[in-house]
Amino acid sequence: MLENLRHTYRALRTTRRCYSAHSAASVFSDSRTAEFLAAAVSPASIPQLHGLPEITVTGRANVGKSTLLNAVLGRAKLLNVSKRAGRTQSLNFFRVGAQPGKLVVVDAPGYGARGRQEWGDLFNHYLRERKQLRRVFLLFSAKHGLNEVDRAMLRLLNEECQATGGTRYTLQAILTKADTVLDMKDGPSHIRSIQKDIFDTAPTCLPAIVTTASKHPHFGIEEVRQSIADACGLA
């Protein structure tokens, strides 16, 4: 049991080292300045916010999107989270950095059985039209891995990236809730098999960052910040 835990931590640290060459500290240095800007429930209510680069998260309902963004922004409760799937029901825009801001992060409603059709339509519209979108983070549970809906979403985004040569936005996977696999006997190999599944489904997707965001110690959050800063040209 103990040996398994050590192996898992070692595997996770290796992943972390790959991303720690630079620091995104300056972009996310003052968490007090992060601010909710707008919630969009229809294409017409998506705010323009001209000028600032933007990133968004997507994933199955309840995978941990809002929790991850709270950790990235360094705020415990800026975004609403819930044990019940379907908590986030609009596209929610948050400014990072004091006015005029450095970038915008966008929380999205979950897809899948608990995500409603209209939320999917709104998100698809946003992806199609958003000129300042730099990176889409696809979140998957480290415990459950990918299902067919996840693979369909990955394929769709992969095709879009291939069609545009990554000139519009790029993709990066994130595995959430890593703490839940730490006491699994085959934790590291389980994580590796999810990473392979992601690569096989979407070769253009950047390698998954492994994270824990609700329980302390957090894990992988600095890597996510770095990826956001890179994507927005701020690293």
- Residues engaged in binding ligand GTP (CB under 6 A): 59, 61-67, 81-83, 85-88, 109-110, 176-177, 179-180, 212-215
Q: Does 67 bind Mg ion (CB under 5 A)?
A: no
Q: Which residue is nearest to Mg ion (CB)?
A: 88
**62 touches which of ligand GTP, Mg ion, none (CB within 5 to 8 A by kind)?**
ligand GTP
Closest C-alpha among 68, 109, 63, 111 to residue 88: 109
**85 touches which of Mg ion, ligand GTP, none (CB within 5 to 8 A by kind)?**
ligand GTP
Closest C-alpha among 138, 207, 204 to residue 166: 204
Q: Does 170 bind Mg ion (CB under 5 A)?
A: no
Q: Please say which residue, 70 or 195, places its beta carbon nearer to ligand GTP.
A: 70
Q: Is 146 exposed, middle or buried (0-12, 13-18, 19+ CB in 10 A)?
A: buried
Q: Does 56 bind Mg ion (CB under 5 A)?
A: no
Q: How far apart are CA 191 and CA 179, in angstroms?
A: 12
Nearest approach in angstroms of CB 174 to ligand GTP is 10
CA 50 remoteness from chain centre: 22
Q: Does 88 bind Mg ion (CB under 5 A)?
A: yes
Task: Name the one range near Mg ion by CB under 5 A: 37-45, 59-67, 155-163, 195-203.
Answer: 59-67
Q: In this structure, are residues 111 and 149 in contact, taking their beta carbons and an 8 Å threshold?
A: yes
Q: In this structure, are residues 157 and 200 in contact, taking their beta carbons and an 8 Å threshold?
A: no
Q: Does 62 bind Mg ion (CB under 5 A)?
A: no
* Kind of pairing between the strands at 170-176 and 133-141: parallel
**86 touches which of Mg ion, ligand GTP, none (CB within 5 to 8 A by kind)?**
ligand GTP
Q: How far apart are CA 116 and CA 3, in angstroms?
A: 43
Nearest approach in angstroms of CB 57 to ligand GTP is 8
Q: How far apart are CA 97 and CA 37, in angstroms?
A: 12
Nearest approach in angstroms of CB 133 to ligand GTP is 19
Q: Please say which residue, 69 or 231, places its beta carbon nearer to Mg ion.
A: 69
Q: Does 66 bind Mg ion (CB under 5 A)?
A: yes
Using CA atoms of 205, 127, 135, 173 in order, give the dihedral in degrees to the nearest 10: -40
Residues that bind Mg ion (CB under 5 A): 65-66, 87-88
